[in-house]
Amino acid sequence: MQLSNKVPSYKVHLFFLAFLGLITLPIGKLLTFAFSPNDSQSTKSVIILVNKGENPNDLTRMLVSENIVSDGRTMIWLGRLTRKWKSIKAGEYQVSPNMTPLEIFRTLSSGISVLYPITIREGENMYEVADDLQVKGLAKKEQFVALCKNIDFIRSLGVFREFTPRNLEGYLFPDTYFFNHSTPVEEMVKRMVRHFFDYWSKEQDDRAHELKLSRHEVITLASMIEKETGAPEERKVISSVFHNRLKKRIKLQSDPTTIYGMWKRYEGKIHKSDLSEKNEYNTYYIRGLPIGPIGNPGKEAIQAALYPIESPYFFFVSHNNGTHQFSRTIEEHNRAVAKYQLDPRAREGKSWRDFYNKNHLNNGNGTGSENNPAANAGGRRDPSSKSSDSDREQHP
C-alpha cells in the first residue's frame, strides 16, 4: 500500500489557528496601547527635551518616568513597527498622559518645538540681554557676551562690510524673540543682528551721510538718546542737544556713557572720580561720541538721532518726573539745576516710576517699567535710579 506524504488539511487549519492565536493577543495589545492614553483624565503636562540623535530607549525611559506612557517595551515596539523613531526631530515638546502614544509620536515628529519669549527692551545692553537668557535657562550669560565680543564671529555674520565693530552692542535689535533650550547661542545672536539689518535702510544710510555720521555713530548716538529719556516726545529734543554740542565740539557729558564704561563695577551711583576716569566711553573725559553704542536703541531713538529738531539748546536737567528742562546757556542751566536738583523739595517723592505710574497705570496702559523699556534710562533695571547726564553742570 502506498503511503501519502500529504499533511491532512485539518491539521494545517489547526496549526494556522494556533499561530493566529499566538500573534493575535500581542497585536491586539499593541493596537489598544497605540490608541489609548495612559490617563485620559490627566491635566498634567511636561516639557521634554529631545536631543539630536536621541536613543529611543533613553527617550522611552524619560516618558515612562514622567508617567506619560505606561509600558516602555510596547512603546519601543510601536515606534519600530510604525517607523516613527526615525522621524523624531530634536527640540522641546509638551506632552501629557492624556495623549495616546500615536499622538505623542506625532508631536515628537512635528518639529514644532516649545518656544520661550525673550524680549530685548529699548535701551537694554548686551549684558542685560545675557542675564535674561540665563535666567530663562536658554544660554549662559558669559557665553552670550563672549560671542557678542568675538571679532571672528562678528565678521562671519557677513553684514558689516565697511566697518567691523568691536562688539555687537547696538545691533541686538529690540523686539521679542522665541527660542528653545536647543537653540544654539550663535543662532540667537544671528537672529537679533539680522533683525537690525532688516530694519536699517538705504534711506537711513543716506541721511547719516548727510549728517556726516557713519551708521555706527548714528547707533551710538541713538543708544545715548534712548538712555537719557523715557518720554517719547523728548527724544528729538535730546538729540538736538547732542548734535548742537557735537558741532561746537563741546563734551557730551552723558552719565549713561560713564556708567557703561564701568558697567562691571557700577552699583547705582556715579562718584566724582568716575567722571574723570579714562576710558573710551566716558564722555566727561573724551570729546565727541563714545567708541560705540552703550545699549540697543529702538526705532524711535534711531529716528531721533537721524532727524533731530532744530533747537538752540545745549543743556538739559531732569524735572524728576521723567521729563527735562532744556537750556540755551550755562547760566540758564545752572538756575535749572538749582531749582530741580539742589532743592530737596523738588526731588522728594519724584522719580521716573512715579511719573510713569501716574500717567500710564491709572489709564490701564501698562504695569510699570516692564512696559516702557526706555524708563530704564541712565541706569540698570530700576527706573527710580535713573541718572541723567545733564543733572550735572555742563560747561562748553
DSSP per-residue codes, 162-227:
S---SS-TT-S-SSEEEE-TTS-HHHHHHHHHHHHHHH--HHHHHHHHHTT--HHHHHHHHHHHHH
* Residue at 164 is within a domain: yes
* Residue at 228 is within a domain: yes
In degrees, rounded to 5, the angle at the alpha carbon of residue 104 between the alpha carbons of residues 33 and 32 is 10
Percent share of the chain, pLDDT over 90? 69
* pLDDT score for 389: 37
Kindly state whether residues 293 and 349 are assigned to the same domain.
yes
Number of H helices, E strands in the chain: 17, 6
Strand intervals (E) in the chain: 46-50, 91-95, 116-119, 176-179, 315-318, 324-327
What average pLDDT does the segment 179-191 reach?
95
Task: Kindly state the cell numbers that stand for 3.
Answer: 503511503
What average pLDDT does the segment 29-42 reach?
91
Please say if the pLDDT value at position 386 is more than 50: no
Tell me which residue of 151, 116, 153 sits closest to 136, measured CA to CA: 116
* Residue at 314 is within a domain: yes
What average pLDDT does the segment 265-269 reach?
85
Average pLDDT of the residues of the chain: 84
Rounded Cα gap, residues 108 and 172, in angstroms: 32
324-360 pLDDT per residue, tens: 999 999 999 999 999 998 877 766 655 544 444 444 4
* Residue at 62 is within a domain: yes
Of the residues 137, 168, 198, the one at which a domain ends: 198
* pLDDT score for 320: 86
* pLDDT score for 18: 44
Indicate the number of domains in the chain: 3
205-239 pLDDT per residue, tens: 999 999 999 999 999 999 999 999 989 999 999 99
* pLDDT score for 378: 32
What average pLDDT does the segment 98-104 reach?
96
* Residue at 9 is within a domain: no
Q: How many CA atoms lie within 13 A of 193 on its CB side?
A: 21
* Residue at 4 is within a domain: no
Q: One-letter amino acid identity for 123? A: G
Q: Which residue has the cell 545675557?
A: 130
**Confidence band for 173, pLDDT divided at 50, 70 and 90:** very high
What average pLDDT does the segment 255-264 reach?
93
Q: One-letter amino acid identity for 250? A: I
Percent share of the chain, pLDDT over 70? 81
Task: Kindly state the cell numbers that stand for 151.
Answer: 571679532
What average pLDDT does the segment 247-255 reach?
96
Of the residues 198, 220, 249, the one at which a domain ends: 198
Q: Which of 85-89, 198-202, 318-322, 336-340 has the lowest mean pLDDT?
A: 318-322
Radius of gyration of the chain (CA): 32
**Confidence band for 9, pLDDT divided at 50, 70 and 90:** low
**Confidence band for 390, pLDDT divided at 50, 70 and 90:** very low
Kindly state whether residues 121 and 101 are assigned to the same domain.
no
- Residues 6 or more apart in contact with residue 208 via CB below 8 angstroms: 214, 215, 217, 218, 306
Of the residues 55, 90, 110, the one at which a domain ends: 110
Rounded Cα gap, residues 4 and 48, in angstroms: 64
- Residues 6 or more apart in contact with residue 81 via CB below 8 angstroms: 30
**Confidence band for 5, pLDDT divided at 50, 70 and 90:** low
What average pLDDT does the segment 101-116 reach?
94
Kindly state whether residues 280 and 193 are assigned to the same domain.
no
Kindly state whether residues 324 and 385 are assigned to the same domain.
yes
Kindly state whether residues 347 and 247 are assigned to the same domain.
yes
What average pLDDT does the segment 129-150 reach?
97
Alpha helix positions (H), 44-91: 56-65, 72-81
What average pLDDT does the segment 47-63 reach?
93
**What domain range includes position 358?**
203-391
- Residues 6 or more apart in contact with residue 272 via CB below 8 angstroms: none
In degrees, rounded to 5, the angle at the alpha carbon of residue 218 between the alpha carbons of residues 212 and 222 is 145
* Residue at 153 is within a domain: yes
* 258 and 281 Cβ atoms separated by less than 8 Å: yes
* Cβ count near 151 (within 10 Å): 11
